């Protein structure tokens, strides 16, 4: 007897590589991208990821992968000794979004399927093609669901076993129907007939975002040009389960790889990388620092002694670097002269409780600024202005660690000001940080040296 307390929900992921179809499917390279997303999602939602990667029946002409995933699902779970509650059967052409809700909580513990309405002619022809086999049963096309993503539980074991027996009893007939008569799909239409013939209660009102199929037909690969620099495709923004079907099969790996390259950072448990991916960098926003600049800061200040320190940032712009600084220090006071910048930054960091944004002009002769251990100077950029800012910071704060951006930006006077202060002994470079000479920003500035510096940092 199963212990109900030990049962977990299962994602049953199909990833069998048929060598005879390797060329047609781009050598199945897309499997790795799909699998990575589902494994992450399962860990996050306390589910079991089960990989169906070896065929039960070796003859994959008579027992094609789509048939095997359906008719052997309960056999495989029991063979692997898995105590399951609900089962989410998904194809390897699916990628689940990192923050997709837990769909198992929406099922009412019923058999769940998503209506398939992407190619109504294909579906109609398939229904008609199998009709005589099922004794002219009148199938309701309005209840027709995709078999690529379905959810069920142990109560449906008898249904799947009878479906398996149906196939074993008619293997040759089904193969002939698939290849010579219907020529549309494998197990999907027969499963729909079997569901309706057996009067299975199928829940079909789950969010469509969990079955975002035929995305190219819905223009989901596009993005909203009105969002400015945000070119995130619609399917990533609004979908939960991205199903890469309907596109040429030999292009699937390439498209899924491109998708993975866009989103893979979200599937990381590395805190540094997660914060870096939550903000903008100089490749998309000219007033930000680069990803490498922020990454270097995170690495250099990754020490418990800095967690108790206070930082001040002059020239916070829209808060991208500010947000990163807040993960490194006890409190960060961020100043910018523009109210519009402050408003954007506040909204960006609204859930962070150790950061303060204040409108302030660094040229103001009266400073009422909290004393700090670290000061990031990134306000004015003309040589004499930067000289003045450095001088005032050194006078106001007690032996501060100083961070500066744009050292390698030839369009500013930052480097000459820093070099002057190094020569007169005011500053000592402890680290050069960020991108290197030759790096090109989004507004076509080419660095001629390292992007930034850290001065007066005593690491002993």
What 3-state DSSP class applies to 108? coil
Spatial CA neighbour of 99 closest among 307, 251, 299, 278: 278
pLDDT at 39 over 80: yes
99, 266 contact by CB (below 8 A) = yes
Q: What is the mean pLDDT of the chain?
A: 93
- pLDDT band at residue 249 under the 50/70/90 scheme: confident
**Sign of the torsion formed by the C-alpha atoms of 75, 77, 83 and 89:** negative
Q: What is the pLDDT at residue 278?
A: 84
Tokens coding 309: 């320190």
Asked which of 26-35, 160-169, 190-199 is least confident by mean pLDDT, the reply is 26-35
Per DSSP, 212 falls in state B
Spatial CA neighbour of 241 closest among 65, 99, 84: 99
pLDDT at 363 over 50: yes
Spatial CA neighbour of 48 closest among 78, 10, 5, 2: 10
pLDDT at 250 over 60: yes
Q: What is the pLDDT at residue 1?
A: 37
- pLDDT band at residue 2 under the 50/70/90 scheme: very low
Q: DSSP per residue over 126-182, as a string?
A: HHHHHHTTTTT----GGG-EEEEEEEEEGGGHHHHHHHHHHHHHTHHHHHHIIIII-
- pLDDT band at residue 5 under the 50/70/90 scheme: low
Tokens coding 295: 């990454």
Residue partners of 34: CB distance under 8 A and separation at least 6: 13, 15, 92, 93, 94, 95, 256
Asked which of 62-71, 181-190, 317-326 is least confident by mean pLDDT, the reply is 181-190
In terms of C-beta density within 10 A (0-12 exposed, 13-18 middle, 19 or more buried), how is residue 130 classed?
buried
Quick one: average pLDDT of 343-368? 95
Asked which of 47-51, 217-221, 267-271, 370-374 is least confident by mean pLDDT, the reply is 267-271
Tokens coding 159: 């249904």
Pick from 157-166, 251-260, 266-275 the range whose average pLDDT is largest: 157-166
Residues paired with residue 145 on neighbouring β-strands, in sequence order: 115
Q: What is the pLDDT at residue 268?
A: 83
CA–CA separation, 264 and 98 (whole Å): 9
Q: DSSP per residue over 357-370, as a string?
A: EEE--TT-S-----
Q: What is the pLDDT at residue 326?
A: 97
In the chain, what is the straight-line distance between the N-terminal and C-terminal CA atoms, in Å? 62
CA–CA separation, 150 and 129 (whole Å): 23
Whole-number Cα distances in Å, 391 to 396, 417, 424: 9, 10, 12
pLDDT tens digits, one per residue of 400-455: 999 999 999 999 999 999 999 999 999 999 999 999 999 999 999 999 999 999 99
Segments of 197-322 assigned E as strands: 202-203, 241-243, 310-314
Using only the alpha carbons of the chain, give its radius of gyration.
29
Quick one: average pLDDT of 107-111? 97
What 3-state DSSP class applies to 98? coil
pLDDT at 108 over 90: yes
Look at the pTM and tell me if it is higher than 0.75: no
Quick one: average pLDDT of 323-351? 96
pLDDT tens digits, one per residue of 274-321: 888 889 999 989 999 999 999 999 999 999 999 999 999 999 999 999
Q: What is the pLDDT at residue 228?
A: 64
243, 93 contact by CB (below 8 A) = yes
Q: What is the pLDDT at residue 277?
A: 82
- Domains by residue range for the chain, with CATH: 4-266 (3.90.550.10), 278-455 (3.40.50.150)
Residue partners of 122: CB distance under 8 A and separation at least 6: 184, 185
Query: Strand 355-359 vs strand 331-336: parallel, antiparallel, or unpaired?
Result: parallel
CA–CA separation, 148 and 113 (whole Å): 9
Q: Give the whole-number percent of the chain exceeding pLDDT 90.
A: 86
- pLDDT band at residue 248 under the 50/70/90 scheme: confident
More confident residue, 398 or 5: 398
CA–CA separation, 315 and 326 (whole Å): 15
Quick one: average pLDDT of 57-83? 95
User: What is the H or E stretch that residue 342 is in?
Assistant: helix 339-348
Q: What is the pLDDT at residue 118?
A: 87
What 3-state DSSP class applies to 401? strand
- pLDDT band at residue 87 under the 50/70/90 scheme: very high
Quick one: average pLDDT of 83-109? 96
Give the CA-trace dihedral at 87, 90, 95, 98, to 10 degrees.
Answer: 0
Per DSSP, 200 falls in state -
Q: What is the pLDDT at residue 227?
A: 66
Q: What is the pLDDT at residue 144?
A: 97
Name the percent of the chain in helix, strand, coil, to the closest 5: 40, 15, 45
pLDDT at 27 over 80: no
Tokens coding 279: 């903000």
Tokens coding 333: 């006071």
Q: Give the whole-number percent of the chain exceeding pLDDT 70.
A: 98
Quick one: average pLDDT of 44-56? 95
Q: What is the pLDDT at residue 4?
A: 46
Q: What is the pLDDT at residue 3?
A: 44
């Amino acid at each position: 007897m199963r212990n109900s307390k030990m049962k977990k929900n299962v994602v049953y992921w199909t990833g069998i590589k048929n060598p005879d179809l390797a060329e047609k499917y781009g050598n199945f390279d897309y499997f790795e991208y799909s699998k990575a997303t589902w494994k992450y999602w399962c860990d996050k939602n306390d589910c079991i990821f089960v990989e169906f990667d070896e065929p039960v029946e070796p003859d994959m002409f008579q027992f094609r992968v789509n048939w095997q995933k359906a008719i052997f699902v309960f056999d495989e779970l029991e063979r692997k000794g898995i105590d399951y509650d609900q089962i989410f059967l998904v194809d390897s052409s699916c990628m689940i979004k990192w923050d997709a809700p837990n769909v198992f909580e929406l099922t009412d513990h019923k058999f769940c399927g998503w209506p398939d309405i992407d190619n109504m002619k294909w579906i109609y022809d398939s229904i008609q093609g199998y009709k005589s086999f099922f004794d002219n049963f009148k199938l309701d096309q309005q209840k027709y669901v995709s078999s690529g993503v379905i959810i069920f539980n142990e109560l449906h074991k008898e249904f799947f076993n009878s479906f398996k027996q149906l196939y074993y009893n008619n293997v040759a007939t089904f193969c002939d129907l698939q290849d010579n008569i219907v020529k549309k799909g494998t197990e999907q239409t027969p499963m729909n007939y079997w569901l309706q013939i057996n009067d299975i209660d199928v829940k079909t009102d789950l969010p469509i975002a969990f079955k975002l199929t035929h995305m190219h037909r819905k223009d989901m690969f596009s993005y909203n040009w009105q969002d400015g620099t945000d070119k995130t495709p619609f399917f990533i923004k609004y979908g939960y389960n991205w199903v890469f079907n309907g596109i040429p099969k030999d292009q699937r790996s390439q498209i899924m790889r491109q998708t993975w390259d866009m989103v893979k950072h979200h599937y990381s448990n590395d805190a540094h990388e997660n914060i870096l991916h939550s903000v903008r960098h100089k490749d998309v926003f000219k007033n930000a620092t680069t990803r490498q600049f922020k990454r270097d800061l995170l690495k250099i200040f990754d020490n418990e002694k800095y967690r108790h320190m206070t930082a001040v940032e002059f020239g916070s712009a829209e808060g991208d670097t500010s947000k990163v600084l807040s993960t490194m220090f006890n409190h960060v006071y961020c100043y910018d002269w523009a109210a519009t910048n402050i408003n954007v930054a506040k909204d960006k960091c609204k859930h962070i409780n150790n950061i303060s944004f204040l409108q302030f002009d660094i040229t103001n002769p009266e400073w009422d600024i909290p004393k700090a251990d670290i000061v990031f100077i990134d306000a004015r950029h003309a040589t004499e202005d930067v000289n003045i800012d450095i001088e005032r910071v050194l006078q106001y704060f007690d032996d501060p660690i100083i961070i500066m951006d744009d050292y390698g930006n030839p369009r500013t006077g930052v480097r000459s000001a820093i070099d002057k202060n190094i020569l007169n002994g005011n500053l000592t470079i402890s680290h050069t940080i960020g991108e290197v000479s030759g790096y090109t920003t989004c507004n076509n500035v080419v660095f001629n040296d390292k992007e930034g510096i850290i001065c007066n940092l005593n690491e002993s």
